[in-house]
Structure 1
Amino acid sequence: MVDVPRELVQYVARLLYAERRARGTRRNTRALTCFYQALLVLVWFRKAEDVTLLGAGFGISRATAYRYRDEGVAVLAAQAQDLHTALRRVAADGWSHVICDGKLFDCDRLTETTTSVKGDTIDAWYSGKHRNFGANIQAVMRPDGLPIWTSPAMPGHLHDTSCARQLGITAALNWSASQLDLPAVADSGYESTGHGIKTPVKQPTDGGQLAPDNRAYNRLLRGLRWQGERGFAILIGRWRTLRHTTVSPRRIGDIVAAALHLTHFEYKYLPESC
């Protein structure tokens, strides 16, 4: 038993069927039908089941279960729209702005290292801010909190601003503000990323108080930004496998993108082509 609509299982099964046809897979050569493979993938997303036990429940080997899961993640992640297309759709739907935010998705400790800006050797996937290992995922949300796009995984030691710049997110958001009249609001971590991204005014370094206009501006931004936290809560609350993953952190971006596509189906937000 899994608490997802049967229509969602059938939708994922159709995507898997199309993938099998594209690969030239012959009929009756797979251990599971498309429907049961889709069910396996959804159980893993929804319940974060151990893949070995999950495969045993479906009567397949451990290796086959991993292969079927990975195939399902790849097929779902491939349906994701690019950021510019997602922003155009939000603007066409009449929304006034979008929300940009980042989150560290928890993963196991890794031995991969990198060099910090100070020249020290550090853990590439360790976030000093969160004091935990994980992948930095950037997301763009509608004003009501529904995520419309998520980024590839970036090492956890990177700051939100660095991730957004390296992935071209700041450029896309500044473009949408100038061309689509669709500005973005973000927290102070995105300061100085462009006029199209509105961030709070920081407190004076001399300890003085902000001017009344700046305090009102910050309060207004807080009233708009809080839905960004809801966007990540929608994904993590619904798809339990996002709470902690043991796969390579570089693949977390695909897993989150796949979960986002499942969320769009449940919220009836799929593109018309789907």
Structure 2
Amino acid sequence: MSGKRKKEVGIKQENILEAVVLADSFNKRFYPVTENRPRCLFPVANQPLISYTLEFLSICGVKHIYVYACHCLDQVKQYILQSKWANTSSPCKVTIVSSQDLTSVGDVLRDVDQKNLFETDFLIVPGDIVSNLKLSVALEEHRNRREKDKNSPLMTLVLRSSSPAHRSRTPEDNIAVALDLSSNRVLHYHRFNKAASKVNFPLNILQDPKSRVELRYDLTDTGIWVCSPQVPQLFTDNFDYQTQYDLIKGVLINEEFLGNQIHAHVA
């Protein structure tokens, strides 16, 4: 009987959903406005953006959130400690991890790996998201893939439909993605820079006669990742990975040798 109870407790613990919130954008996109205030504390309807991010994750069932604060970390800590998220009655636990030594997304994920924060799948979310997306489908798809194969499915990118002319898109948001329609596996991911207007898709993604490949330019990356515990370790193993895009490029280039796969969920 005690063995059965231990098994049930283990199942419950595995279903606890956790997340990393990046309170720093690690870029100067809104500089100099962000020089003395982080973007996640910009007010919308009299509430800082990070409050919407935390609410969004809470609604999605996240029970423990690690907020990584780097730029203007004292302001981020002050807000959270004075908000409802610091109360014992908060719908989820919020832990603040603050350090000015972390200067990139890669540094944050290496710190996550060093602290060994996650043993099961978790989320990575920017700290300035205002969203009502339901992540249950993306989570279920990711978990189903991981149940069938615990090694290959590395993470699921949450993308959303957004026409190239939509006013919410900027040149910095422009991406081109090749997807395997049968599995939603990402075969190629290209982020445009301001000077480039062309993308070269590798021919090998079109060589399998059984696969159906879709090339899309009408998607925007939300910055939300559903990750396996191996993701932080990859950042540790590759110190040149500084951004999310570095990881995606590295995984897709080495997929044939390492077997890691990236999938997408289109909202």
More strand by share: 2
Report the TM-score when normalising by structure 1: 0.27
More helix by share: 1
State the structure with more CA Rg. Answer: 1
Report the TM-score when normalising by structure 2: 0.27
